[in-house]
Amino acid sequence: MTDDQFDLHTGYVTFKNPIALATMAGITNSTFANEHADRAGLVVIGGYNLDEKTNDAASKLVARGRDEFISDNPFGFLKNEIEGVGGDSVVAVNVRSATIEPLLEAARIVKDAEAILELDAHCRQEEMVSIGVGEALMHDIPKLVDWIGKIKKTGVVLSIKIRANVVNDIDLARAIESAGADILHVDAMKEGPGADLHAIRSIRDSTNMFLIGNNSITCLKDSKDMLARGADMISVARGVLNDSNPNLISELVDDITNYQEAAGWYNAPKHICGGEGDLRALAFCCLPVKPCAVHNKIGKLGFSAQEFTNLKMEFAKGTMLEYGDSTCFGSLVWCCKLSKPCFLRDGVMDMIDLSGAEYMRLKKNLATYILENAKIPVNEC
């Protein structure tokens, strides 16, 4: 397997795998990342406070028992922290500031290090929110959009960290994408335990941004559940703490790498008929001849049933998906996900010597082809 087996790129960064460490202020510094996440595709360290106001707010948080990174030399501290991360994981720094200038200064430092700047629009601590930081940015979309545009002018790869279910997720994601951000890092928090997988799927179906899904991941199943809703990458914060599983990141890297080798599409979607599939799952849909959920989905992309049929047939031409006379609709291009047992499809695959992983890689390319050729783009539909 190559270093690029997951094909994960954005801007000047390439991630070696889709597992990330997420920030915990006062905890996730370079030392923590080296100890717990040296095999991660991405380590997000911080959150770092870049100006006097956020450092003062952090001091108040410390006074009431929370951990924070406080510094009277924030940019020197930031630089040292980035340089302190060993190994070949991509580094992102999660940052907060009450004004734009410190963010621009940080962006220049981060870009020179070929790292990622992650703007914290997530923090809900009152001391931060009351000075217009963290979650306050989700409630002030014009300001957030303005800041993103200015930061992007530095050329830095920019991630925006948000929490789901605070404002309208789709409006927020689209505003962030139009403003030019590269990555959307979503804490899929909901009321009660577990992550809001539905939020990840709706965001996937509304934006083309690189999507990192986060919340309550403690094992391979949690990771696969979130990836199957369209996250390109998943991140873990609390699950890595000592009283949870300090080796979790390394275990997930091994598990997801083995899964990708065997299954060919580590974040393959669920089927649409189950109600959980995102638009990429059109790659597994039948010929649209009966009344079912496919019609609503292709309608969103502006296709008639005939146009959708033509598009899939066009993709299949000259590929292994063209075969399959004995399948339900006469070609593998209409066939189901490999996880659905089917002796008809498997018989054809045996006959043409097509491995399961290769079948799924073709379906992944088909999904990309469908979305790239949509008459109404995903971020407008």
Helices (H), 233-339: 248-263, 294-300, 305-316
Beta bridge partners of 210: 183
CB of 241 to ligand FMN, least distance (A): 8
Alpha carbon distance 133, 137 (integer Å): 6
Alpha carbon distance 381, 377 (integer Å): 6
CB of 123 to ligand FMN, least distance (A): 6
Number of shown-chain residues binding ligand SF4 (CB under 6 A): 17
292 binds, among ligand FMN, ligand SF4, none (CB under 5 to 8 A by kind): ligand SF4
**Residue 56 one-letter amino acid:** D
Instruction: Select the span of 100-108, 198-206, 334-342, 354-362 touching ligand SF4 (CB under 6 A).
Output: 334-342
Q: CA 316, 319, 321: angle at the middle one, nearest 5?
A: 60
When asked if residue 294 is in the footprint of ligand SF4 (CB under 6 A), the reply is yes
Q: How many CB atoms are closer than 10 A to CB 339? A: 12
Site string for ligand SF4, 310-329 (x = CB under 6 A): -----------------xx-
Residues 161-190 that bind ligand SF4 (CB under 6 A): none
DSSP classification of residue 22: P
When asked if residue 262 is in the footprint of ligand SF4 (CB under 6 A), the reply is no
Question: Is the Cβ of residue 189 or residue 366 nearer to ligand SF4 in the bound state?
Answer: 366
154 binds, among ligand FMN, ligand SF4, none (CB under 5 to 8 A by kind): none
Which of 161, 163, 345, 364 forms a contact with ligand SF4 (CB under 6 A)?
A: 345
When asked if residue 85 is in the footprint of ligand SF4 (CB under 6 A), the reply is no
Q: Report whether 246 contacts 54 (CB < 8 A).
A: no
29 binds, among ligand SF4, ligand FMN, none (CB under 5 to 8 A by kind): none
Question: E strands of 100-209, at which residues?
Answer: 116-120, 157-163, 183-187
Alpha carbon distance 333, 231 (integer Å): 24
End-to-end Cα separation, the chain, in angstroms: 37
Nearest to residue 150, comparing CAs of 188, 183, 174, 180? 180
When asked if residue 336 is in the footprint of ligand SF4 (CB under 6 A), the reply is yes
285 binds, among ligand SF4, ligand FMN, none (CB under 5 to 8 A by kind): ligand SF4
334 binds, among ligand SF4, ligand FMN, none (CB under 5 to 8 A by kind): ligand SF4
69 binds, among ligand FMN, ligand SF4, none (CB under 5 to 8 A by kind): none
* Residues lying near ligand FMN in the complex (CB under 6 A): 22-25, 46-47, 94, 120, 122-123, 161, 187, 214-217, 236-239
Which of 129, 286, 305, 357 forms a contact with ligand SF4 (CB under 6 A)?
A: 286
286 binds, among ligand FMN, ligand SF4, none (CB under 5 to 8 A by kind): ligand SF4
Alpha carbon distance 363, 18 (integer Å): 19
336 binds, among ligand FMN, ligand SF4, none (CB under 5 to 8 A by kind): ligand SF4
Q: How many CB atoms are closer than 10 A to CB 213? A: 34
When asked if residue 335 is in the footprint of ligand SF4 (CB under 6 A), the reply is yes
DSSP classification of residue 43: E
Alpha carbon distance 70, 96 (integer Å): 12
Q: Are strands 116-120 and 8-10 parallel, antiparallel or unpaired?
A: unpaired
Question: Is the Cβ of residue 220 or residue 357 nearer to ligand SF4 in the bound state?
Answer: 357
